[in-house]
Amino acid sequence: MRKIKIFDTTLRDGEQSPGASMNVEEKIQLARQLASLKVDIIEAGFAISSPGDFEAIKRIGDEVEGPVVCSLARAREEDIKRAWEALKDAPRRRIHTFHSTSDIHLKYQFRVDREEALRRSVAMVELARSFVEDVEFSPMDATRTEMGYLLDVVEAVVAAGAKTVNIPDTVGYTTPEEFGALIAEIKKRIGNKAVISVHCHNDLGLAVANSLSAVANGAGQVECTINGIGERAGNCSMEEVVMALKTRKDFFNASTNINTREIVRTSRLVSKITGIPVQPNKAIVGANAFAHESGIHQDGLLKEKTTYEIMRPEDVGLQSTKLVMGKHSGRHAFKTRLKELGFSLSQEEIDGLFERFKRLADQKKDIYDEDLEALVLDATARPPELYRLVDLSITSGLTQKPTATVKMKIGEEIFDRMEHGDGPVDATYRAIVAISNTKSTLRSFDVKSITGGTDALGEVSVSLEEEGRGVRGNGADTDIIVAAAKAYIDALNKLAARKKP
């Protein structure tokens, strides 16, 4: 099985994402985590670009053990000498130099012909080779370069001493089939004289696919970033290409040295440092990558994990699969989650709660454990119901006195009543008192939010007193007025239960 080197350029190309620049201390912190992740090469920056980049490269080379530390340098003498100054004390070091090779770049950006571009590329590889043994060369915009010329450049820089030749899809232009064929052709030309690397951008959403196609056709190094950050639409995502190779090693017959259990930790650190959030449906590290709401999926997972998961969440640094409770969840997942929360309920109780759960899920986008606990306690802590809320409607406004219309069931009969009040809760309680014909006194009224968000489940607690007997009632609902009505009726039921001989 071939070992594929992982060249991480989060600190260089990733930092070029708009708004993602890092200071020296942040770069060192992230470089240490990349070492824990066991990347093979860290491209720590572009030494000549700024004093900060120079210092970061130098300190990472001095302070971070494990990976090769690399500096980018244009095919210019001053760039390469500056890269050497930053790297000279690092025990493992690489200079990565580049020059464009596509006609469109040579004509409009560099204003040189092919012969001059080739001469500069060879000369600067030789210069870099005079400082370090480990030199990498990139023909920038390789995928828009004429094939014959590209092969000539690659062969020439390898002869000049480049140990790695990186083929960049600089503008994200190529496709997997096309790129794979290109890598195969380069492999045929240079054999094992140098490692073929690839650096794919994601402008067409093909960076990972193109990189994997390259691996399948002989590439031995993949350049990538954590979370896929980078110029424009970003780079090949490190976590995606690594886990694709790990999960489908049967197909690629290749592996990496990456400690995959550090992937999520590294992803979160990059997001924290750069301020760039990870989209929820992002492969491998997104919040939903190992989350399941569909009842069919949840049922399968509870029976056998491999029914709907091709990777173990533990392998990327997560604790477990997440079963998201929502309106698509099934009875099996609902029962399992209640058991995990410590509730031992009969099937009849679960069936009753499941219907209430479904109604709540239609009202709330997210169902939290606190919601489930409130549902159970709201149902199981109740005494036998003499009084039950059937319906409640409220009308209120700046110029309209609050009015509540309450429909209640007492025993087997249903009654309704409309009452006005100082507020919607007062009007509701007046209607409940009138229907139940009770004379209890409200001693306290407490409201709290059980969960977050504007659709939070609210809990209301009330204290009623009648003939010297005090009780406390509780009710929960996304509608706080409904929760208040439930709490009052819960307390009335408790009072009624105490009156029984």
Cα 170 to Cα 173: distance, rounded to the nearest angstrom: 8
pLDDT given at position 25: 93
Structural fold of domain 2-274: TIM Barrel (3.20.20)
Going residue by residue through the chain, which has 501 residues, state the pLDDT in tens, using 9 for 90 and above.
899 999 999 999 888 887 788 899 999 999 999 999 999 999 999 999 999 999 999 999 999 999 999 999 999 999 999 999 999 999 999 999 999 999 999 999 999 999 999 999 999 999 999 999 999 999 999 999 999 999 999 999 999 999 999 999 999 999 999 999 999 999 999 999 999 999 999 999 999 999 999 999 999 999 999 999 999 999 999 999 999 999 999 999 999 999 999 999 999 999 989 988 898 889 999 877 776 656 667 667 667 777 867 788 888 887 766 556 667 777 887 788 788 777 778 888 788 888 877 877 777 666 766 677 777 766 665 556 789 999 999 999 888 899 999 999 999 999 999 999 999 999 999 999 999 998 888 888 988 776 666 666 778 888 888 876 677 888 888 889 999 999 999 889 888 876 765
Q: Which residues contact 482 (CB under 8 A, 6 or more apart)?
A: 389, 392, 475
Estimate the crossing angle of helix 347-363 against helix 369-380, to 10 degrees.
130
On whether the CB atoms of residues 406 and 395 are closer than 8 A, the answer is no
Q: Which residue stretches of 205-259 are H helix?
A: 207-216, 238-247, 249-252
Going from N- to C-terminal start, the domains of the chain cover 2-274, 291-379, 381-499
CATH number of 381-499: 3.30.160.270
Query: What is the C-alpha radius of gyration for the chain, rounded to an integer number of angstroms?
Result: 33
pLDDT given at position 350: 81
Q: How far is CA 63 from CA 6, 135, 367, in A?
A: 20, 22, 46
pLDDT given at position 497: 75
Identify residue 324 by its one-letter amino acid code.
V
pLDDT given at position 364: 67
Phi, psi for residue 146 in degrees, rounded to 5: -60, 130
DSSP secondary structure, 93-160, as one string: EEEEEEEE-SHHHIIIII---HHHHHHHHHHHHHHHHHH-S-EEEEEETGGGS-HHHHHHHHHHHHHH
pTM value? 0.72
pLDDT given at position 121: 98
On whether the CB atoms of residues 31 and 55 are closer than 8 A, the answer is no
Q: In the structure encoding, which two tokens stand for residue 96, read together? A: 């990565």
- Give residue 250's Cα distance to chain centre: 27
Q: How far is CA 426 from CA 143, 373, 432, 462, 470, in A?
A: 73, 28, 10, 13, 20
Q: Virtual CA dihedral for 174, 118, 50, 236, nearest 10 degrees?
A: 20
Quote the DSSP letter at residue 403.
E
Q: Which residues contact 129 (CB under 8 A, 6 or more apart)?
A: 135, 160, 161, 162
pLDDT given at position 459: 81
Residue 459: Cβ-neighbour burial (10 angstroms; 0-12, 13-18, 19+): buried
Nearest to 149 by CA among 182, 181, 180: 182
pLDDT given at position 380: 60
Q: How many C-beta atoms surround the C-beta of residue 65 within 10 A?
A: 9
